[in-house]
Amino acid sequence: MSINKYIFIIVMLLPFSIFGQREYIRWNIFDINKVRTKFNNANQLCNGNFQNTIFALPPAFEYPAGSGINYGTDVAFIIGGYQEDAGGENPNNYPHVDAAMTEGPADFWDPDHYDPYVEFVNGDRASMSDDPESWPVGGFPSNLPNYYYKTTADYVNRNKTISPQLETIPLLRDSTGWPGAREDGTRIGEQESFSVSYSIDHLAEVAPERWLTLQTITRGMAWSGRYYEDFIVWIFTGRNIGHTPITDTYFAIWSDFSFISSFNPPNGFGDDGDVCFYDRERQFAYSWDIDGYETSITGGVMDAQDIAWAGTVVLKTPTGDDNNELGVTGYDPVSNYNAQTTNIGNGARKREFYRFNLMNADDPRDTDGDGICETFDDGKDYFQADSEPVQILSSGPFTLEPGEVDTLIIATVFGVSKLDLFKNVDQVIQLHKENWAVIKPPPMPKVYVKAGDKKVELTWDREAEKDSLFEGYRVYKSYDGGVSWGLPITDIYGDVILFKPMEIFDLKNGITGVNPLVPGFSLGQDSGLEALWKVVNGDTVNHFVDTQVNNGYNYRYAVSAYTRGSSIKPPLENSISNDPSIPGDNTVAVIPNAAVSENTLNNIKVVPNPYIVSAEWESQLGIRRIDFTNLPEVCKIQIYNVAGEKIKTLYHDNGGSTESWDLLSEDNQEIAPGLYFYYVESKIGSTQGKFVIVL
């Protein structure tokens, strides 16, 4: 394996015509847990490409989901090797490298190294198990295809080169028709992706173009639940569908986790300080911003504790779980004969990329030649990246005979700290060793919300109570858009591992207190569930009312069900869903409001008054706001300073009784601290009042 440094490339936008060739490329989103990414059906797991921001597609490993913070510049699969009868032309017998990443303007980085088989494409989305409309019309094919394209002209004309000598491989499916990840066609993940593509190269590197006669079958797998919510597993299978062997073959994964990726120019890439690490025992390459300084998406900077850790762990190499050829190296392009990532440089020429990044040959930092970097010349245990912390994990060499299939399994893993990251890595390693034997929490409650006057009502179903290990419900409340969910519970290192729920309702069965396997996780105090029950339309549901709210403020609520656990098994709890706008999951967003004033303006108030920067409402991701409450259905609000100058006019017609103001003037400038006056005009009369801003 190798960890490789990446040098900054000046932004050069690829011609649109290149992307126009990608007729069957489709994208979809993994969104079932805390790691959210848009992937495609051509072996690219994200595209937060900083060189070509206009083509970037968020989310790109957004973590935690819903935060708007993305870490993936590009994560993609690569296969390299030699083949006599490959696609295109190769008069000099150079190695072929088929790579899915789109990291720069040179030909090698063009996005057309893989193209999906049309039989597996439908609509506008890549196929996912929980999105049947993304499946092929008429269902998935019964067998894997046995054809490829010999030349680009053949590709354009759809002139197939068929390999009839190859064994027909059936594509097994589950009862719904989905080709699940298990050998019998059943599903492993709660959410799975599936794509089948072939190697192709629409652009000549220097000329002529060339590619392997290779078919790839790629799956992603994700799960919800506290023990599985921080990673996505990817199974990458290569199949030689040609007539000659592919020799000196390497399977690899390009992992570029930028800290932080931004989709808004000019911040198209992370700040300096990004570093790479490698844990040899776990076969885990990971990254972080060691100086703890990044531009925040909400303005200002992010501190070290706010910047996540991310990496790629290899769970299975193509030749087995323990490949002797596996290694890691820090690679410095400047040490080689040409540092330019152009058609004449090592970053853009396939044969040089194969030599330096897949074979790990001539690495100046691997002083003993064992494929493992010797803590880099200064004795540190990390590799300093000039711009982006690129990791290339490669496994080989081996031979892929005609018809032969081999597999690389990796997981993209995140954590809020180094300790949390390694905990999550160990969990996915154990999950793989146990053949994906997932232990599951009870069914996720389906939560519905109703806003009232200084109150919020939550209602949810009772399906979770049918689980034989069900113990209770935990109710969470967030003031900051889901960034935090109550008082933090930390480990011995000060890292947040849990949040304290606002309420716990559990069975009266003598199981109480904190579970010893999950420090800080309370199993409840035998409160009973009866207080929650309410009959609605003849059905008994769970019902909870929160009166500790202010009208006009944004709140989020989540309800999780959890199991009782034991002395050897931890309790399992539902994850908090990412998007409160989706009906029927366990997370909701709400703004409590008073009833619309129909006859009087006497109850109009400004909340909060005075406005103080450090108050609760100021914590909502940097949002500054006051609310005018108890308004009539339609009115106009004019705001003046003590000098009598009009600062802002608000028009209230949203159907509610509250109107918000972001404390910006008509010129979009932040207002100064001081005393202000407001005047309300409506059909039922007018009134005035005052409020104070304390900054």
Please name the residues in contact with 499: beta carbons below 8 A apart, sequence gap of 6 or more.
476, 484, 485, 486, 487, 488, 489
pLDDT for residue 378: 35
Q: How far apart are CA 376 and CA 366, in angstroms?
A: 8
Residue 15 lies in a domain: yes
617 pLDDT more than 70: no
Q: Closest Cα to residue 189, out of 238, 116, 130?
A: 130
Residue 401 lies in a domain: yes
100 pLDDT more than 50: yes
Across 379-407, average pLDDT: 74
132 pLDDT more than 60: yes
The residue ranking higher by pLDDT, 424 or 482, is 424
Say yes or no: 642 and 535 in one domain: no
Across 79-102, average pLDDT: 87
pLDDT for residue 279: 83
The mean of the pLDDT values for the chain is 82
385 pLDDT more than 70: no
Band of pLDDT at residue 118, cut at 50, 70 and 90: very high
- The first and second tokens of residue 314, run together, are 């290899």
For tokens 């005609």, name the residue.
Answer: 402
Residue-wise pLDDT tens digits, 448-473: 999 888 899 999 999 999 998 999 99
Say yes or no: 536 and 412 in one domain: no
Say yes or no: 267 and 322 in one domain: yes
Say yes or no: 418 and 545 in one domain: no
pLDDT for residue 339: 32
18 pLDDT more than 50: no
Q: How far apart are CA 32 and CA 576, in angstroms?
A: 10
Q: Examine the fold and report which residue of 405, 433, 461 is the final residue of a domain before the chain moves on.
A: 433
For tokens 């912390």, name the residue.
Answer: 389
Say yes or no: 7 and 83 in one domain: yes
Say yes or no: 544 and 690 in one domain: no
- Best mean pLDDT range from 66-70, 667-671, 687-691: 687-691
Burial 579-613 (b: 16+ CB within 10 A, else e): ebeeeebbbbebbbbbeebeeebeebbbbbeebee
Q: What is the domain count for the chain?
A: 3
Band of pLDDT at residue 595, cut at 50, 70 and 90: confident
Say yes or no: 300 and 377 in one domain: yes
Residue 595 lies in a domain: no
DSSP state string for 159-176: --EE-TTSPP-B----TT
Q: Which DSSP state fits 83?
A: -
Quote the percentage of the chain above a pLDDT of 90: 46
358 pLDDT more than 90: no
pLDDT for residue 285: 85
Residue 438 lies in a domain: no
Say yes or no: 396 and 541 in one domain: no
pLDDT for residue 335: 29
Please name the residues in contact with 406: beta carbons below 8 A apart, sequence gap of 6 or more.
237, 238, 251, 318, 319, 398, 400
Say yes or no: 392 and 492 in one domain: no
Residue-wise pLDDT tens digits, 626-685: 889 889 989 999 999 999 999 999 999 877 788 889 899 998 888 889 999 999 999 999
61 pLDDT more than 80: yes
Band of pLDDT at residue 179, cut at 50, 70 and 90: very high
Residue 195 lies in a domain: yes
Which residues span the domain enclosing 558? 447-590
Say yes or no: 470 and 554 in one domain: yes
The residue ranking higher by pLDDT, 375 or 120, is 120
pLDDT for residue 329: 41
Q: Which residues pair with residue 339 across a beta bridge?
A: none
Say yes or no: 453 and 577 in one domain: yes
Band of pLDDT at residue 256, cut at 50, 70 and 90: confident
Q: How far apart are CA 222 and CA 531, in angstroms?
A: 35
Looking at 48-62, 433-447, 586-600, 673-687, which range is the least confident one? 48-62
Say yes or no: 29 and 82 in one domain: yes
The residue ranking higher by pLDDT, 491 or 398, is 398
Q: Examine the fold and report which residue of 530, 557, 590 is the final residue of a domain before the chain moves on.
A: 590
Band of pLDDT at residue 104, cut at 50, 70 and 90: low
The residue ranking higher by pLDDT, 111 or 543, is 543
- The first and second tokens of residue 41, run together, are 């059906």
- The first and second tokens of residue 471, run together, are 């113990």
- The first and second tokens of residue 91, run together, are 């008069």
Q: Examine the fold and report which residue of 559, 590, 621 is the final residue of a domain before the chain moves on.
A: 590
Residue 493 lies in a domain: yes
Across 286-315, average pLDDT: 79
Residue 620 lies in a domain: yes
Residue-wise pLDDT tens digits, 548-557: 998 878 899 9
Residue 209 lies in a domain: yes
pLDDT for residue 309: 93
Across 282-306, average pLDDT: 76
